[in-house]
Amino acid sequence: MESFQHNQVKLAVACALQAKAGREKRGVYFTDGMLLSLPGCERAYMPDGFFVSYRQLRNYCRFRRSARSRVYGILGVPSIIIEVASPSRLAEDYDDKREEYQRAGVKEFWLFRPDGAGYHFDLLTLDRLRGTPAYYRQRPEGQGGYSKVLRQYVRLLVQPTGIANLPRYVIQLSDRRSPPFIPPKRGI
């Protein structure tokens, strides 16, 4: 069973990416429960979410269908994979899956890691220019970053609700011209 925070972070990502995909007609967002088979990987995954651009979907992905022609999975490489790590599975979600996603060529890996009562958001981007494909973090740990797939800055906001000390999580997508990523001023 997942925690309230885990559930709400997944919901925030799903709302933001589904709205963007629908508004700009750039791709399809799949929530958890959809099976994902990456080429060259021995096992199938069920990430917390993934985004597939229409270009990827047309050229590099196939739907897996049941006997009744219901889609239950994707065979191919999505543009973005989202994992909301649980404290008990942090090593698997971060290390093991990151290596598999990297090897398969997933352009972005969004990892939400638990940190006390909240979450850190690491947006890892695949860099193929340095020889072996590897993920790199563009911003200090936990601050989100610039998504090349979405062409926008992405960050996780935590807002108080005033109800039983439960936070509200929101994924903020903002245009490059007005980035909300202003580093905090430090005392001298």
* Residue pLDDT, tens place only, 10-60: 999 999 999 988 888 888 999 988 889 998 888 888 999 999 998 888 888
pLDDT > 70 fraction of the chain, expressed in percent and rounded:
85
pLDDT band of 185, cuts 50, 70, 90 = very low
Has residue 183 been placed in a domain? no
pLDDT tens digit sequence for 160-178: 887 887 888 899 998 854 4
Name the more confident of 176 and 181. Answer: 176
> Looking up tokens 């065979």, which residue turns up?
75
Whether residue 179 has pLDDT greater than 70: no
CATH number for the domain harbouring residue 66: 3.90.1570.10
Domain of 28 in residue numbering reads as 4-174
| pTM given for the model | 0.84
Nearest to residue 105, comparing CAs of 84, 128, 130, 86? 128
Has residue 109 been placed in a domain? yes
Has residue 101 been placed in a domain? yes
Has residue 180 been placed in a domain? no
Polymer length in residues for the chain: 188
Has residue 39 been placed in a domain? yes
The beta-strand segments (E) located in the chain are 27-31, 35-37, 49-53, 62-65, 71-75, 80-84, 108-115, 118-127, 134-137, 143-147, 152-160, 167-174
Has residue 187 been placed in a domain? no
Has residue 11 been placed in a domain? yes
Has residue 186 been placed in a domain? no
Tally of domains within the chain = 1
CB 72 within 8 A of CB 34: yes
Residues near 9 by beta carbon (within 8 Å), at least 6 away in sequence: 84, 112, 119, 156, 169
Residue 20, H or E segment: helix 4-24
